[in-house]
Amino acid sequence: MTNTQPKKLWGGRFSGANDPLMEAFNESIHFDKKMYKADILGSKAYVKGIQKAGILTADEADQLLKGLDTVLSEWESGSFEIKFGDEDIHTANERRLGEIIGPVAGKLHTGRSRNDQAATDFRYWMREELKALKTYLVETVKVILERANAEIDIIIPGYTHLQRAQPVRWSHFLLNYAFLFQADCERLDQLYTRVNSLPLGSGALAGNPFNVDREMMAKELGFSSVINNSITGVSDRDFVAEFLFWASLVMTHIGRLSEDLIIYSTSEFGLITLADAYSTGSSIMPQKKNPDSLELLRGKSGRIFGNMAGFMMTYKGIPSSYNKDLQEDKEPVFDTASNLSSSLQITSSVIATLSISKERAKSMLTDDLLATDLADYLVRKGIPFRETHHVSGSAVRLAESRGCQLSDLTLSDLQGLHPLFTEDVIKVWDFETCVENRQSTGGTSKNAVNKQISLLSTWLTQQ
């Protein structure tokens, strides 16, 4: 009886067919087809490598290159047909290549393993994805800078422990996240360098037996270096772990920003209002305007961290060289990249379109936020801060007992707490003065905030 099953790349050793469940369990084409372009470009570079090594004639190389271009055009047009037996993107492309150009397609895999092929495809795909993600990160910083520059005169309460602490400029609050996203960009650049190293030519694990010019192939594919150990080439997935950690950290920053904005958008705070485009309503309560965009962003951080934790549990116990466990590297990365891409774009759009209430910001500024400035007033008169802290605390307690603001305390009241209070203490009760006193680098004065904007603007021009 004739076996009509398609030949597998590895099937020569086997006489029996796979269990259909195992067939489905083993295949990865349903997700790694995402790398079709990387796989074909990698194959084209390998054609040139083995032609230079004398494995292919010029005519054979030309047939292979043209055939691969045809396969690529089918993927791009949506006409490529995945067939039963296409385990993965590599099998599918090679099968289709053979249908187009015939037996010469069988020479493509000379000296190459799916181990180094898969690692090459993945690194190439991730490299291109990192470029896109950086674009979205940079755009987020740009949007924050535009708001910070336009709304620098708005002063809001700053919080520690979610308790009212000291006045800060709204711009200063926003720039906190701009600097976090800038650091994320810098970490991405470092990650990109480690991703951008070529495994192709490592073979299954021991290297290529035909002395292919790996440096030439690296240049062909835009890689900055080659991986210098063939076992490392096929089995290293540190770049996956690093990408998933990096993405988790970016989403942590997005989640924290989302939490702040969710709080500020509540009726209790009333400081900001989200655009309708990034809000939803309630199915039962007509008055509701829910910050679902921000809540989804906050929730995505848990999903992406979970992808990292899951992969690390797989990666930690794998022995050296390639093992099939490593097929579990791609789905968490694909899911993470997709969700992070959407999250960054939504984040920048939410920031760009929200509105802040200047009136509400002003009404939220109460004298308790100036308690430290009251202590600093006496420091400037030579009193140790530990003593002035106690004096200011006593003033706060006195105002609370009377149900009044600190500024409602009379000069006599304050002099009863310390004799060095004089009439000029009235200058303490000014929020603009308070923030302008923070002139040091990184402070919340207008000059200090403008320096932050300038630093980030300069950085943006370099991206």
* Per-residue pLDDT tens over the stretch 312-370: 999 998 999 999 999 999 999 999 999 999 999 999 999 999 999 999 999 999 999 99
On the question of pLDDT at 13 being above 70, the answer is no
> What pLDDT is attached to residue 284?
75
412-445 burial code (b ≥16 CB/10 A, e <16): ebbeebbeebeeebeebbebeebbbebeeeebbb
Token pair belonging to 328: 């579990």
Sign of CA dihedral 374, 376, 377, 383: positive
For residue 200, the Cα-to-chain-centroid distance in whole angstroms is: 27
Domains of the chain, CATH where assigned: 18-107 (1.10.275.10), 114-363 (1.20.200.10), 367-429 (1.10.40.30)
pLDDT of residue 14 exceeding 50, the answer is: no
371-425 pLDDT, tens per residue? 999 999 999 999 999 999 999 999 999 999 999 999 999 999 999 999 999 999 9
pLDDT, tens digit (0-9, with 9 covering 90-100), for 172-227? 999 999 999 999 999 999 999 999 999 999 999 999 999 999 999 999 999 999 99
Distance CA 7, CA 27 (A): 15
Q: What is the pLDDT of residues 254-308, one digit of tens each?
A: 999 999 999 999 999 999 999 999 888 767 776 778 899 999 999 999 999 999 9
Mean pLDDT of 427-438: 96
Q: Report the C-alpha gap between 111 and 54 in whole angstroms.
A: 12
What DSSP assignment string belongs to 76-96?
Answer: HHT-----TT--SHHHHHHHH
What is the tens place of the pLDDT at every residue in 95-142?
999 999 999 999 999 999 999 999 999 999 999 999 999 999 999 999
Pairing label, strands 163-169, 225-226 = unpaired
Helix extents (H) in 316-430: 330-353, 358-363, 371-379, 385-402, 411-415
Q: Is the pLDDT of residue 11 over 60?
A: no
State the pairing for strand pair 155-160/163-169.
antiparallel
Give the pLDDT of residue 96.
Answer: 97
Give the angle subtended at the CA of 271 by the CAs of 267 and 273, to the nearest 5°.
75
- Is the pTM here over 0.85, yes or no? yes
The pLDDT assigned to 28 comes to 81
Separation in Å, CA 335 to CA 32, 207, 342: 12, 32, 11
Residues labelled as active-site residues: 161, 282
**pLDDT above 90 for 249:** yes
- For the four alpha carbons of 280, 282, 283 and 285, in that order, the dihedral sign comes to negative
